[in-house]
Structure 1
């Protein structure tokens, strides 16, 4: 009678400090636990002992051990476990309580003893009972994540991205010109497409590329825009498939000659 009262008191005191005790796995712990956790969603066991532990770190090496909730009977030495989830590798769990329970003997199997510990994560979001044999001592070590090297943007991609960026300017003046020949002497200037707003004096210039070398270009239009607080002139030039707006100060009047 006194032994039964002691077990009931231990079950009722699982939420109170009970003194420190060493964790020692019982024989057949994992096998017995695996057999019972698949048998039913809720299983009641005889409570053999209950101990509060010094907070100790554990982790899962392999697999996904089942995590259980535990309901302790108030008037007898019994505990009922119900599956609530699983634990995973790569996470540290802290054990604070231990119970030793026995399974009920059947015609086909003898009663077996198993040890379970109450664990929870550092943030307390995951907590419950797990078979002690499914845990390994110590904190989990996370594998280093190797980031795949990203390819640097090539010059070609950079130029393509630059082409797609358009800038909008205030249109001050626009006029048609008599077809006039031009060429350039220094570095190849950029040429742009021009998109004119229908309801306001605005034009958006978007880079298409640079003018080809050793060519004559023919200007047929001229626009003046407000750019960086300055009045800047652009000429609309063509040469076969090349056509667009070019800053006027980048061009030289006259047809291209090899002597240039």
Structure 2
């Protein structure tokens, strides 16, 4: 059995690009197909997609460490994608080895590879489910085993809500997940926006149109609504590199922010 046989499920559609595999390619991963790479290369002609992916991944690391510093020891990562270096459990286990993490994704390659990677990891698991079905996610046996909903939870929707159409009501989905977690829980989100590069985002919508995951970038006001019921922590909803950067001088860097094209924030419930 070769490496490809291990990570490619027999019924996966390799000819239709998926967002999870495109993201994997942009981050330098190897769990993608020609169709994903072709879409990613088209995307790179209209947006600085590698910078967007890198800056989003750096935000994920910083926000997980921030939640860990605030006392969070259990996390649900919705739309987690294909595991690459710097996944949530790797980040948090570096400071709290007993922290528990549930990953959620409906993409088959993401689910299979995550299950392989986590086979010997008792404090993390992959739930193969669609985040648009909160009851299925929250009542899943793995979620119930690892997450104690009487204690604060770190809920993550990082780089995923742009794949949820208005008709699927991402605002209602965010509210359903919010209502499932207790006061003192945190909600981290990042999402594509049309605000910074409207022409590029319009072109990106066309690039993704025939993929498994069309995109729906939104304005700052639309994204901010997903934090209803939370109090945003400083610095509020900002571009990913402006959210508590490790190099403070980047917080005011227009050039760095212009490559992001994702808003990001962290809120506390209650």
Band the TM-score falls in, shorter-chain normalisation = under 0.3
Larger RCO, structure (CA 8 Å, separation 6 or more): 2
Q: Which structure dedicates a bigger proportion of its chain to strand?
A: 1
Q: TM-score scaled to structure 2, two decimals?
A: 0.17
Rg (Cα) greater in structure? 1
Higher helix share: 2
